[in-house]
Amino acid sequence: MTPINLDALVSSTLHGESISDAHAEQILLDPDIEILDLVNAAFHIRRVRWGKTVQVHILNNAANGKCPEDCSYCTQGKKSSVPIEEYSMKTSDEILEEARLAYENGAFRYCMVFSGRGPSAQRTTELARLVRQIKEKYPLEVCVSAGLLDDDKAETLAAAGLDRLNHNLNTSEEHYAEICTTHTYQDRINTLRAAKRNGIEMCSGLIAGMGEPASDLVEIAQTLRSLGAESIPVNFLLPFEGNDLVDPIGLTPEYCLRVLSMFRFVNPTAEIRIAAGREFHLRSLEPLALYPANSLFLEGYLNAKGAASNRTYQMIVDAGFEIVSDFSAAALIDQTVLPNVEQPVHVAGRSAVKTLDDLRPAR
Ligand code: SF4
């Protein structure tokens, strides 16, 4: 491979030029690109839009499991036998109380996730009511992840003040049928376009480690750039015994940093989020992920346990970054709103599954 001049690549990226597929793939694969040089280069791009700030997102499994879809990486799909705590939609009171907990635990954005193919018209109305109530009560940005949506439903949610809609592409169009057969890549693109047309910010990401070639990750990054995704959660496949897709492939800590850095180069102004697998796959290199990425999830990932909140906040502060919150970093590190007891996030090489206490602290 011809050596990459990272300084020149940073400069052209900051001048608005797109990075080529070849260079993006080289970032993922070229062992001659030293990892510290790469994350430092990605940091130069991150710093222009985001400074040293870190936005914290907290997920709420508002409806968990019982999904008729067959996404092979997901613990909630019809083919999964992972022993998760299944329940249909939480009550409004429970969701609102959990919004309060999320706010007081330092969340910048509260993400409500509903399992299933997509919301009915009735559920969309309920979601819109919840979005209004949360926005009235707390200074939180609100995101909803509820499956496939059309323009009418997107319009209803937009009118309620929804800030963002999450719907991940997960993998490339070419490989989509290998990870899911009950809906298509195009269905997902259509949902994202409906959100965009109705003025809702787009949050859409990927899952690395499903056996995809590096070129697939580049294709997703470029597609999200062309769609104008404001937010990109970068997930690393978590190994759950009982899922179709159990064992992550090729996810060394260094490769995870390369993936995050490549997404930063391709999508220089997007919010790049360290999502599922942060603790599991980055391990001792986790703080370096803050150089390309400017946000992360706290308290785990849907049904996967995550590190204790105060340990994550301490990591952010120790690395010299600044938490975006109404609460001080010291207060967040010391806070007692939610359990801070460190729990294992993996056991015997498998991801630890959340308990009902993790999932429903306000029930
Ligand atoms: S990713 Fe969403 S649509 Fe797919 S199985 Fe899981 S909950 Fe269902």
Average pLDDT over residues 103-107: 91
349 burial level (CB within 10 Å; 0-12, 13-18, 19+): exposed
What spacing in Å lies between the alpha carbon of 73 and ligand 1's midpoint? 9
Q: Is residue 180 annotated as part of the catalytic site, yes or no?
A: no
Task: Given the residues 67, 258, 264, 278, select the one marked as catalytic.
Answer: 67
pLDDT(343) > 90: no
Cβ atoms 268, 14 nearer than 8 A: yes
pLDDT band at 342 (very low <50, low <70, confident <90, very high): low
Q: Which residues pair with 232 in a beta bridge?
A: 272
Can you give the pTM of this predicted structure?
Answer: 0.96
The mean per-residue pLDDT over the stretch 37-46 comes to 98
Both tokens of 217, joined, read 């990750």
- pLDDT tens figures, 122-149: 999 999 999 999 999 999 999 999 999 9
Q: C-alpha angle with apex 114: 109 to 119, nearest 5 degrees? A: 115
Residue spans of the domains in the chain: they are 18-359
H helices then E strands: how many in the chain?
13, 12
* 288-319 pLDDT per residue, tens: 999 999 999 998 999 999 999 999 999 999 99
Can you tell me which atom of ligand 1 is nearest the CA of 116? 8
How many residues are listed for the chain in this entry? Answer: 363
pLDDT for res 337: 46
pLDDT at 161 over 90: yes
pLDDT confidence tier of residue 204, bands split at 50, 70 and 90: very high
User: In sequence order, which residues have a C-beta less than 8 Å from that of residue 268 and are 6 or more positions away?
Assistant: 13, 14, 45, 48, 49
Q: Please give the C-alpha separations between residue 27 and each of 23, 49, 57, 255, in angstroms, as whole numbers.
A: 6, 21, 27, 10
The pLDDT, as a whole number, for residue 341 is: 56
Q: Which one, of 72, 198, 36, lies nearest residue 124 by Cα?
A: 198
E strands, the chain, where? Answer: 53-63, 109-114, 141-145, 164-166, 201-203, 206-208, 231-236, 271-274, 295-298, 322-323, 346-347, 350-351
Ligand 1 environment, Cβ below 6 A? 67, 69, 71, 74, 76-77, 115, 117, 147
The per-residue pLDDT for range 285-294, each reduced to its tens digit, is 999 999 999 9
| CATH class of the domain whose range is 18-359 | alpha beta
